[in-house]
């Protein structure tokens, strides 16, 4: 048995860690997925020793020692081949602990963080997050400013967008239309109107895409639509002439995990080119929408012994390469096997948002949990508020916060209104102007109280149904 690579003495006890993967895993805050994988720290003392040892690691070491071999993993090759040495230069001399201090310094502002983003690898971001408190993750993420655009501008200072999620268990047109109109009347939908189809095939995808395109065109809504189907279905829909705005795909942090999703980098490049060729954006042409979540690589048995949060950060390298409009961590969706309770979900959501923003991504979060997790809506209120303070790009808008098709708990149209009001944030500017034109907003940036729908919407449900 080889001697440990990294050793730290704590309380008179020496703790050894075999390699970088082991050190990162042992330094992670406790979560059920790492315990399931058999890689978590066996005590709080061991975790603290790992965090202290990790703080002394030079950032350069992550460029010299890859967690997954370059020769066998295209995500590793992507990270190495596209690393920007010039952007890395200002922080190249730092250890992980120094990097934390540098990130928290007042002089490290949005401009400075944007300049170094391309020089930060996912492993560096994951490493520093493991030695940060929740307040550290919030403070640094709030300083990161990532702006993207398609039919409106996402991520501007003082803005919080929402994905309107009008899912229906049978893809019923009237039910979907009712949820869309309900969400729009509450100011939801500026990030995207995105449907998870219950029946996932190309003809159904085309029908849903055309339905949303009709609504957006008829009412001149400055937003974008997306059907969250497999990327190959979206490519086929584009080839058949469907008015596709955004291409969706779930992604992960290793080649093997992405293969389990039926994708690779070449396929994502093909999809991006297909959507870009349509030129449907008006103020920008960011056409990709990615979703991630801690635990996906482990559930596919494709984690290579890497902790789930570091695997998640590696997924952000895939996302960053394709310059997406939106990236969403569906933080509590996979279940308690990976994030056991509200405390673990809150920590994971803040970690994901921090790492994504630090790497230059427009990060949103589906603040959610499954019904068999040890969590409730109070936990989600706490995470929603913390992410709002942290400058989260967008959150979900689900009717009643209960997705009746996917059968999980998320955030509602009212929840988004709450966080906007308590933090003084507003929708994307183009969408906000549309809310005024449609008489949904009044002149004081507040919603009008309607006995009936605004005139422009009064008969929309009957027509679309």
Q: What is the pLDDT of residue 197?
A: 96
Q: What is the mean pLDDT of residues 285-306?
A: 96
pLDDT averaged over every residue in the chain: 94
Q: What is the mean pLDDT of residues 118-124?
A: 98
Q: Which residues of 392-423 are buried (b: 16+ CB within 10 A; e: fewer)?
A: bbbbbbbbebebebbebbbbbbebbbbbbeee
Which stretch of 21-30, 396-405, 429-438, 452-461 has the lowest confidence by average pLDDT?
452-461
H or E element, residue 348: helix 342-358
Q: Label residue 424 by pLDDT band (50, 70, 90).
A: very high
Determine the length of the chain: 465
Q: What is the pLDDT of residue 404?
A: 85
CA–CA separation, 254 vs 233, rounded Å?
A: 23
For 308-352, the pLDDT digits (tens) are 999 999 999 999 999 999 999 999 998 999 999 999 999 999 999
CA–CA separation, 249 vs 273, rounded Å?
A: 14
Measured over the CA atoms of residue 367, residue 371, residue 372 and residue 374, the dihedral's sign is positive
pTM for the structure as a whole: 0.95
CA–CA separation, 357 vs 135, rounded Å?
A: 15
- Find the radius of gyration of the CA atoms of the chain: 22
Q: What is the pLDDT of residue 11?
A: 85
Q: What is the pLDDT of residue 441?
A: 84
Which pairs count as long-range contacts for 3-12, CB under 8 Å and 24+ apart, including other chains?
6/53, 6/57, 7/53, 8/49, 8/50, 8/52, 8/53, 9/49, 10/45, 10/48, 10/49, 10/52, 11/45
Q: What is the pLDDT of residue 465?
A: 46
Residue 14 has pLDDT above 80, yes or no: yes
Q: Which residues of 8-28 are buried (b: 16+ CB within 10 A; e: fewer)?
A: beeeeeebebbebbbbbbbbb
Residues 221 and 437 sit within 8 Å (Cβ to Cβ):
no
The angle formed by the CA atoms of residues 291, 398 and 142, to the nearest 5 degrees, is 55
Q: What is the mean pLDDT of residues 404-413?
A: 91
For 173-229, the pLDDT digits (tens) are 999 999 999 999 999 999 999 999 999 899 999 999 999 999 999 999 999 999 999
Closest CA to 190 of 226, 160, 220, 168: 160
Residue 214, judged by CB atoms within 10 A of its CB (0-12, 13-18, 19+), counts as middle
For 338-391, the pLDDT digits (tens) are 999 999 999 999 999 999 999 999 999 999 999 899 999 999 999 999 999 999
Residue 240 has pLDDT above 50, yes or no: yes
Closest CA to 235 of 287, 178, 313: 287
CA–CA separation, 239 vs 62, rounded Å?
A: 41
Which stretch of 65-79, 226-240, 336-350, 450-464 has the lowest confidence by average pLDDT?
450-464
Q: Label residue 439 by pLDDT band (50, 70, 90).
A: confident
Residues of the chain with pLDDT > 70: what percent?
95
Q: Label residue 268 by pLDDT band (50, 70, 90).
A: very high
Q: What is the pLDDT of residue 62?
A: 98
Q: What is the pLDDT of residue 126?
A: 98
Residue 452 has pLDDT above 70, yes or no: no
């Amino acid at each position: 048995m080889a001697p440990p690579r990294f050793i730290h003495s704590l309380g008179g006890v020496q703790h050894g860690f075999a390699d970088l993967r082991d050190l990162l895993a042992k330094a992670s805050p406790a979560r059920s997925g790492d315990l399931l994988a058999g890689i978590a720290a066996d005590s709080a003392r061991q975790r603290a020793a790992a965090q202290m040892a990790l703080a002394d690691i030079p950032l350069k070491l992550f460029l010299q020692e890859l967690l997954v071999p370059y020769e066998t993993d295209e995500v590793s090759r992507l990270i190495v081949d596209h690393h920007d040495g010039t952007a890395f230069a200002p922080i190249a001399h730092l250890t992980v602990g120094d990097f934390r201090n540098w990130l928290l310094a007042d002089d490290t502002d949005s401009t400075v963080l944007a300049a170094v983003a391309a020089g930060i690898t996912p492993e560096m971001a994951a490493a520093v997050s493991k030695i940060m408190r929740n307040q550290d993750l919030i403070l640094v993420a709030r300083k990161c400013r990532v702006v993207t655009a398609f039919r409106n501008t996402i991520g501007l200072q003082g803005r919080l967008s929402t994905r309107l999620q009008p899912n229906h268990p049978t893809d019923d047109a009237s039910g979907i239309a009712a949820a869309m109109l309900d969400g729009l009347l509450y100011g939801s939908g500026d990030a995207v109107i995105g449907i998870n189809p219950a029946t996932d095939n190309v003809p159904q995808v085309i029908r849903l895409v055309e339905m949303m395109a009709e609504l957006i065109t008829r009412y001149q809504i400055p937003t974008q639509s997306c059907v969250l189907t497999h990327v190959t279905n979206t490519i086929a829909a584009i080839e058949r002439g469907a008015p596709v705005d955004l291409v969706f795909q779930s992604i992960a942090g290793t080649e093997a995990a992405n293969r389990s999703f039926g994708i690779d980098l070449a396929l994502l490049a093909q999809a991006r080119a297909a959507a870009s060729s349509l030129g449907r954006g008006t103020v920008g042409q960011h056409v990709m929408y990615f979703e991630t979540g801690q635990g996906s690589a482990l559930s596919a048995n494709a984690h290579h012994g890497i902790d789930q949060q570091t695997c998640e950060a590696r997924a952000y390298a895939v996302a960053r390469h394709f310059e997406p409009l939106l990236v969403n961590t569906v933080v509590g969706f996979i279940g308690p096997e990976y994030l056991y309770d509200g405390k673990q979900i809150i920590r994971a959501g803040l970690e994901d948002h921090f790492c994504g923003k630090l790497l230059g991504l427009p990060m949103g979060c589906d603040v959610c949990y499954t019904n068999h997790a040890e969590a409730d809506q109070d936990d989600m209120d706490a995470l929603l508020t913390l992410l709002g303070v942290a400058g989260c790009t967008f959150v979900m808008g689900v009717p009643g916060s209960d997705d009746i098709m996917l059968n999980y708990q998320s955030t509602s149209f009212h929840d988004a209104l709450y966080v906007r009001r308590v933090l003084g944030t507003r929708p994307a500017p183009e969408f906000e102007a549309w809310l005024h034109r449609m008489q949904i907003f009044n002149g004081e940036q507040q919603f009008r109280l309607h006995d009936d729908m605004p005139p422009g919407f009064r008969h929309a449900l009957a027509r679309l149904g």
